[in-house]
Amino acid sequence: MDIKILGTGCPKCKTLEKLTREAVSDLGIEANITKEEDIIKIMGFGVLHTPGLVINNKVVMSGRLPSLSEIKNSITENN
């Protein structure tokens, strides 16, 4: 599973990365989690408002900070 956190380094983006790592750990799955901070690459995903969460090259959330349970659901649904 490939997960990308899209964000330029704001507190919400950092929190999304932390929560995503926690969700992956809680679910006990293997995932490659990366943080994309390049605004041009972020816009390439069609995300205009960060933070954004991309799972297997599909944008599943953007523009808000989801809860831990929402992240877990997104990971499970897109695995």
Is 28 one of the catalytic residues? no
Spatial contact of 47 and 6, defined as CB atoms under 8 Å apart? yes
Alpha-carbon gap, residue 32 to 39, rounded angstroms: 21
Q: Which of 10, 39, 43, 48 is catalytic?
A: 10
Does residue 13 carry a catalytic annotation?
A: yes
Integer-rounded Cα Rg, in Å, for the chain is 11
Q: Which two tokens stand for residue 2?
A: 């490939």
Q: Among residues 3, 5, 6, 13, which one is catalytic?
A: 13
- Catalytic residue numbers read 10, 13
